[in-house]
Amino acid sequence: MAALTSDIARPATRSAIPRALLIGCLVLCAINVALLQNGFTAHWWISDENGLGIPTDFVNVWSAGRLVLDGHPALAYDWDIQKQVQVAVLGQNYDGNFAWHYPPPFLFVAGMLAQFPYAVAYVGWAAASFLPYLAAMRAIVGRSFGFLLAAAFPVVFTNTLVGQNGFLTASLIGGTLVLMPKRPVLSGICLGLLSYKPQYGLLFPLVLIAAAQWRVFFTAGVIAVLLAALSWFAFGTESWQAFVHWMPMFDKAFLVEGRAPWGKIQSIFALTRYFGGPETLAWVLQWIMSGAVAILLVLLWRGRNVPYLLKAAALAVGTLLVTPYLFLYDEMVLAIAVAFLVRIGLDEGFARHELPALGLVAALLMIFPLLGAPTGFAATLVVATLIGSRIGPWWRQSASSPMARPDSLI
C-alpha cells in the first residue's frame, strides 16, 4: 500500500512563487482576456459583423444536440445532414465539414447545450467546462496560484475561441490523477467519463494494472459501460451503428487524406506529413513513439521509488504523445503536466533551466496561429523533457537502491 501513498495529499509547502513565474502568468492571463474581448468586439468570435454565425468547431456540438432534441440522434453522424443543420443555425454556408465523431454518450452534453440559443450555449459551454479545469489545476498546484496558472495557459484562448472540449478533457485527466491516491473511486469516475474521448485514455489501463490501482481500474470500467448503456437506451442502437459506420471515414479524411492541414495536428504523425513524409513513415514513427511511451510509463508506475507527482506528470504528457490525432485545443491537457511540474518546483525549488523552458512552452503554443506548424508537439516534447530530467535521478536511485522509501519527494 505504500506505493499508493502520494505527496499530492500533503499540503503544499508555502514557498514563495518565483517572480518570473508570477509575472509571466499575469501577462499570459491578461493576453488571454484581451484576445477574447477583442475577438468578440471585432466579430471574429461567435458571430461576424453581419450577425451571422462564424463557422467553427462548436457548431457541430450544437447541431448534433439539435438533432437529438428533434428525435434523430443517429443523423448527427451523417456529414451531409449535419452540415445542413449547421448552415441553418449559422445563417451562411462554408467550405468543408465540422463532422460529429464523438461516441454516443457525448450526445447527452450536445442535447443539453442545444436547449439554449446558439450564442448562449457557445459561451455557456466555455464557462461551464472552464470551472472543473480551474478546480483540477488548483488541486494539483495545492495553492490559489493554481487558478492563475490555469487561466494563463495559452491554449485557454484557442479552446474558448473554437468552443471545443479541451477544458473538459484536461479536468477529467487532472481529476483522475489528483484523486487517485486518496479517492480512487472518484478518480475512476473521472476516468470513466473520459471515455467520451477514448484516445486519451489508452495509457490508463496499462499504468493502473502496473500500479495495482484496481479500484480506479474497475470503477472507470463500470462508469464507461454504464454511460454506453445509458446512451444506447436514450439514443438507440442506430446511434452506435452510425458512430461505428462513420468513424473510419473520419479517420480516412483527417489521417489519410489530410483534409485538415497537417500543421493543425500536434503529433509526430502529423509532423512527418507536414514535412512531406509518406504516410507509412508517419505511422511507423507514431507507433514507435507510442510503444516507447507506453513501456516507459508502465515501468515508471510499477516502480516504488519515483514520487507520485512525477508519475502523474509523466502520464499526463504521455497521453498527448501516443495519439496521432491531436489538435491544438487538446493541448489543454499539457496544462495538467505543467501544473504537476510547478507543484514540484514550488515545493522543492526550480532548477535553473525550468522556468525558461516553461516560457518556451508558452511561446511555442502562442506562435501556432502565425506559423500554422505543429508547434504544440514541440511544446509537449519540451515538457516531457523537463519531466524526464526530474525523473532521471530517482530512476537511477531506484536502480542502485531498490529498497529506498517509495513515493517521497526530496
Residue with cell 519531466: 387
CA atoms lying within 13 Å on the CB side of residue 266? 27
Cell readout for 348 is 522543492
Q: Rounded CA gap, 42 and 379, in Å?
A: 29
The pLDDT averaged over each successive group of 10 residues in the chain (410 residues) is: 44 75 96 90 86 92 96 93 93 88 96 96 96 97 96 96 95 97 96 94 95 96 97 95 86 72 90 93 96 96 90 97 92 98 94 96 92 92 96 69 40
Residue 122, classified by CB atoms within 10 Å of its CB into exposed (0-12), middle (13-18) or buried (19+), is buried
Residue with cell 518565483: 18
Q: What is the per-residue pLDDT for 400?
A: 57
Nearest one of 127, 124, 178 to 340, comparing CA atoms? 178
pLDDT for residue 410: 28
C-alpha cell at 17: 512563487
Q: Which amino acid is at 333?
A: V
- Rounded distance between C-alpha atoms, residue 117 and residue 184, angstroms: 38
- C-alpha 267/C-alpha 247 separation (Å) is 20
Question: In degrees rounded to 5, what are phi and psi of residue 24?
Answer: -60, -45
Nearest 5°: phi and psi at 125?
-65, -45
The answer to whether 86 and 59 are in contact (CB under 8 A) is yes
pLDDT for residue 15: 67
Cα–Cα distance, 349 to 344 (Å, whole number): 7
pLDDT at residue number 375: 94
How high is the pLDDT of residue 404?
41
Q: What is the pLDDT of residue 128?
A: 96
Residue 10 has a pLDDT of: 59
Where along the chain do its domains lie? 2-25+43-400
